[in-house]
Structure 1
Amino acid sequence: MALPLRQSGTLTLPGNSYCFDYESLDAGRGLFFIARLGAGQVIEVDVRANRVVRVIDGLPGVHGVMVIPARNRVYATATDANQVVAIDETTGTVLHRSPTGDYPDGLAYDPVHGTMWTTNESGSSETVVDAATGAVRGTVALGGEGGNVVYDPVGRRMLVGAQTRNELAVIDPAALQITRRVPLAGCDHDHGVALAPADRLAFVACDGNARLLTPDLTTWCITGTDRVGNDPDVLAYDTAAHRLYAAAESGWVTIGDSGRRQLTIAGRARLADGAHVVAVDPTTHSSYCPVPHGPGGRPALLTYLPTP
């Protein structure tokens, strides 16, 4: 089932073929940040000029990365050091490092309380850090290994995959307490999580059985279950186009459209080796996928545009 995409650009990235993990785009400035975990680096790319701006070192085992344009900061999880690191977006300077639990992975930002949330995967918890100062504000125990965490701007709550419980945990970010556990029937090991806030839908990638579940954020019922590539990981949602991208460790990408509050699969195909990370620009609808072996065997950032 062909992907509704056409390749629109390729940028060779520095270094060797270390694995890439999460990535984050500042669409307003056209700055793109990619976690290169094997090298402990974040690569900053100007996607408008199609050039590498800088490489930020000193982030051992980096997994998660998230840019917060309103704060002019980039946050990254230095997984091997059990830290979340704040970086100046303009200069690439490290501003502060905050302790987390074991194996920090994904990140989410709560703009109401001004906090960064870090999922401690093997630590089975969330660490909540003041986004301005780096002070740790608290910890939320999940009762099992943590998957990704996201902020729901409509419900003003955090949602996190409790992956060894096959549940979605709903957290009150003011009280730092779990208020609901949503069973994910048909899911084995929920890791990736993304939201369609206006459509009141969540998307959950189950890496144990290559399934994508669509819970309704109003009723908490599962409205759909779809097949994706083996070992699904990173999800990205284009809010303007109502389109979901699901990338998998196996190199397969699945694309779905969420019109009428129901996800419909528009394409599913193998993109490239190591293509398990995807990000999307909701203004241009470009999608970005870093791969360890691009043209000539060099690491590359592949850019795609949707086809009609």
Structure 2
Amino acid sequence: MGTRASKRLGKRRQGRTFGWWAAQGQFAPVRLSTSFFRKTFCLAIAFCCAWTVTVAPQNTAPFKLRETIPLPGVEGRIDHFALDASGERLFVCALGNNTVEVLDLRKGERIHSITGLGAPQGIVYIPELDRLFVANDKGGIFKIYDGKSFQQISELNFEDDADNVRYEDTTKRIYVGFGSGGIAIVNAQDGKQISSIKLSGHPEAFELEKNGKRIFVNVPNARNVAVIDQDKGAVTATWKTDLAFGNFPMALDERNHRLFVGCRIPSKLVVLNTDSGTVVAKIDISGDPDEVFYDSKRHRIYAVCGAGKIDIIEQTDPNNYRRSSETETAIGARTGLFVPELDALFIAVPHHGSQQAEVRVYHVE
């Protein structure tokens, strides 16, 4: 999504500083036994190891919680987000609540709820049209709203499980995953369906090449990643994920020809070479991943996991990766939106026990 970073929101960023202290001592020359030196050396090694394990993760954690925006009355799962950067608004698919929550990022509060939806899952906002496009699970209804009044303009019926949505700004086309196996292509200008591409199972996350004609699609029921050639309008290859299944989230590093696939069974980040489809790396991650983002500026991957953690994986080079740290969130907090222009990561936290529904805004350092 081509968006402009908000100046006002950017001014609210804060950096992080750390203070370090060291103790100094004086020693007098005394005669000590060999056994004393052995014991002292062992204790020193043990102390250093314990200090390293405890402190190092704190030094590498790249997220700082900047703000929490409450969502009173919102129940159930929360799915995907969309951003209006110039208007400083965040749109949140409250799937279990059958609403889209509209947040004012300047005020740090909810300003509107779009009701009458059927388990909204995917969403995209197109600033030049000032329109909001929402994909619903129930009935597969794809609804189009005016971005100011939030009045419904039109809708398309994909019959079942309209899910992830992507927008390609050069062609002005919207891509919608739906049903038991399809991606619909919609003209953003008039809201009419152009065509659809058949898949072997329900599509989850997918990514479009910006400098190519391919679409990479997670198809977990088929246990593969489907590769679509847009010129042919068909799947031209399928790639396996090396015995890691439940492939739901995805991110693309197009420059380095790498595709990042989050798998749940077992919990792994699988890295694929987009030239060959081969697996180049597998990294352990936390449970229930549902969102993966690639930070090209910092060469990191962020895996947002329902186990209550954001995992940070460092990209040393295109073939080498290291899980460097994690940030605790909340149980069920598995969706969000990374906005590199703002150095911000938005995380959805659902109502669970004493934890109320909210959106957490993290500054990425």
Quick check: TM above 0.5?
yes
The answer (yes or no) to whether the contact 2:68–2:358 under 8 Å persists in 1 is yes
User: Per residue, is there more strand in 1 or in 2?
Assistant: 1
1:251 matched to 2:308: yes
What displacement does 1:124 show? Answer: 1.8
Paired residue for 2:282? 225
- Assess, with a 3 A threshold, how the Cα gap between structure 1 residues 67 and 266 changes in structure 2: closer, same or farther: farther
- Assess, with a 3 A threshold, how the Cα gap between structure 1 residues 7 and 117 changes in structure 2: closer, same or farther: same
Paired residue for 1:280? 338
User: Per residue, is there more helix in 1 or in 2?
Assistant: 2
Q: Percent identity?
A: 21
Q: Deviation digits for residues 94-134 of structure 1, max 9, x if unmatched?
A: 222111152121111233433221112x5122222222222
Between the aligned partners of 1:127 and 1:113, the Cα distance in structure 2 is 14
The answer (yes or no) to whether the contact 2:74–2:94 under 8 Å persists in 1 is no
- Assess, with a 3 A threshold, how the Cα gap between structure 1 residues 48 and 184 changes in structure 2: closer, same or farther: same
Q: Which amino acid aligns with 1:244?
A: I
Between the aligned partners of 1:259 and 1:112, the Cα distance in structure 2 is 32
The answer (yes or no) to whether the contact 2:120–2:137 under 8 Å persists in 1 is yes
What displacement does 1:269 show? Answer: 4.6
Q: Which amino acid aligns with 1:264?
A: R
**Secondary structure of the equivalent of 1:104?**
coil
The answer (yes or no) to whether the contact 2:291–2:336 under 8 Å persists in 1 is yes
Paired residue for 1:21? 79
Q: Which moved more, 1:224-233 or 1:61-70?
A: 61-70
RMSD: 2.3
Paired residue for 2:229? 172
Between the aligned partners of 1:89 and 1:242, the Cα distance in structure 2 is 34
Paired residue for 1:100? 158
Q: Which amino acid aligns with 1:178?
A: V
In structure 1, list runs of 5 or more residues that go unmatched: none
Q: Which moved more, 1:255-264 or 1:225-234?
A: 255-264
One of 83, 100, 103 as aligned partner of 1:42: 100
Paired residue for 2:205? 148
Q: Which amino acid aligns with 1:272?
A: A
One of 227, 238, 258 as aligned partner of 1:181: 238
- Assess, with a 3 A threshold, how the Cα gap between structure 1 residues 11 and 273 changes in structure 2: closer, same or farther: same
What displacement does 1:19 show? Answer: 1.7
**Secondary structure of the equivalent of 1:189?**
strand
What displacement does 1:296 show? Answer: 6.4
One of 204, 207, 210 as aligned partner of 2:267: 210
Q: Which amino acid aligns with 2:163?
A: D
Q: Deviation digits for residues 249-282 of structure 1, max 9, x if unmatched?
A: 2222212233533443232354212210121121
1:64 matched to 2:122: yes
- Assess, with a 3 A threshold, how the Cα gap between structure 1 residues 218 and 247 changes in structure 2: closer, same or farther: same
Q: Deviation digits for residues 194-241 of structure 1, max 9, x if unmatched?
A: 112333321111123211111122333222111112121122333433
**Secondary structure of the equivalent of 1:245?**
strand
Between the aligned partners of 1:66 and 1:30, the Cα distance in structure 2 is 15
1:52 matched to 2:110: yes
Q: Which moved more, 1:88-97 or 1:223-232?
A: 88-97
One of 199, 204, 214 as aligned partner of 1:157: 214
Number of residue equivalences: 306
Higher relative contact order at CA 8 Å, sep ≥6: structure 1 or structure 2?
1
Where in structure 1 do 4 or more consecutive aligned residues deviate above 6 Å? none
1:118 matched to 2:187: no
Q: Deviation digits for residues 8-42 of structure 1, max 9, x if unmatched?
A: 11111132332211112233432211100112111
Between the aligned partners of 1:88 and 1:50, the Cα distance in structure 2 is 22
Between the aligned partners of 1:85 and 1:263, the Cα distance in structure 2 is 40
1:299 matched to 2:357: yes
The answer (yes or no) to whether the contact 2:76–2:351 under 8 Å persists in 1 is no
TM-score by length of 2: 0.77
